[in-house]
Amino acid sequence: MILLNTAVQYLTEYHSHKENQELAHQIRKSSAVLITEAILILLAGFAYQLTGIEFSWIAIVFGMTGATFTGKHSEAYQVDFMHLTERAMLYVVFTFGEMIIGIAGYFEENLSLGNLYFSLMVFLIAVALFLSYETLYDHIVNRELSDNGLNYLLIHVFLIFSMNNITASLEFMHDSEVNLMQKMLFLISSFLLYYCCLFLLGRYAKKQCGFNRKFYLTMAGMALSFAVLMILFRNIMQINILITVIYSFVVYLILYKFGKHQKSA
């Protein structure tokens, strides 16, 4: 219903822009993608009831691919990029709120010293992840760009996906019934996906704040070190979660100093 509602809004705008052929053509393509995606979702629902097989991912992939290709070469269809970044940031903030709610299980009524340690560490991880995004949003991203915003939104789709995975992986950390190696690989991959998406947003950086080769090499080296240390100490969860906290805050501090230094330069 949300997709169809958005498509109707596009089609309503179409009548106001018939004179601008390029923009009118872009509106028609965008509407077609939205309507087709809505139909695919509807069919996936019926297919799941009949077969028990999940097909909704097809609609998701089609929607992202269709939106990317329909707007890729359109110069006429630009958005208020500052407004778009604000809306995307709100989704990220909401997801961080869900992360805090998700990890609330660490805070039990009668906290032992061990549970208190894990509770504090998990909370610090959430803080560091938020500060990294906030630093990028406030100090590095150029929110006055002229852009259609499609790739920016696409990056945020995977960014929010990674945040939901981080929430789940942190919940698994103190669950002894979950396979140790599996939950460790899940946590590592979720963190690396988050930071990968974060650094991809560097393509929207201010001219003086663009990430350079040294920055990417530093981050790649840190990511590799993080993954290796997490696997080596996988049997000692106290050290494991401490490594995650240190990694998260070091990335934040580098981002903060990078943005501040480049801005002053």
Give the model's pLDDT for residue 107: 66
pLDDT at residue 80 tops 80: no
| Higher-scoring residue by pLDDT: 14, 179 | 179
> Using CB atoms within 10 A of its CB, is residue 233 exposed (0-12), middle (13-18) or buried (19+)?
middle
pLDDT at residue 76 tops 60: no
| Higher-scoring residue by pLDDT: 27, 203 | 203
Is 198 within 8 Å of 252 (Cβ atoms)? Answer: no
Q: State the Rg of the chain over Cα.
A: 21
| Higher-scoring residue by pLDDT: 110, 51 | 51
- Range in 38-52, 71-85, 154-168 the model is least confident about: 71-85
- Look at residue 79 and give its three-state secondary structure: strand
Check residue 105 and report its DSSP letter: G
Q: What is the DSSP string of 175-236?
A: -TTS-HHHHHHHHHHHHHHHHHHHHHGGGGB-GGG---HHHHHHHHHHHHHHHHHHHHTTT-
Mean pLDDT across 180-188: 91
Mean pLDDT across 98-107: 78
- Count of alpha carbons within 13 angstroms of residue 173, beta-carbon side: 28
Is 187 within 8 Å of 173 (Cβ atoms)? Answer: yes
pLDDT at residue 265 tops 80: no
Return the bridge partners of 141, or none. Answer: 205
pTM score of the predicted model? 0.81
Return the bridge partners of 222, or none. Answer: none
CA distance 206 to 227: 30
Residue-wise pLDDT for 248-258, tens only, equals 999 999 998 87
The structure tokens listed for 139 are 């100090």
In degrees to the nearest 10, what's the CA dihedral of 159, 149, 132, 119? -40
Nearest C-alpha neighbor of 60 from the set 45, 43, 84, 40:
40
Residue-wise pLDDT for 213-225, tens only, equals 888 999 999 999 9
Residue 75 binned pLDDT confidence (cut-offs 50, 70, 90): low
Domain boundaries, the chain: 2-71, 81-264
Which letter, b or e, does each residue of 70-79 get, where b requires 16 or more Cβ atoms within 10 Å of its Cβ? bbeebeebee
Residue-wise pLDDT for 231-240, tens only, equals 999 888 889 9
Give the model's pLDDT for residue 199: 92
pLDDT at residue 28 tops 80: yes
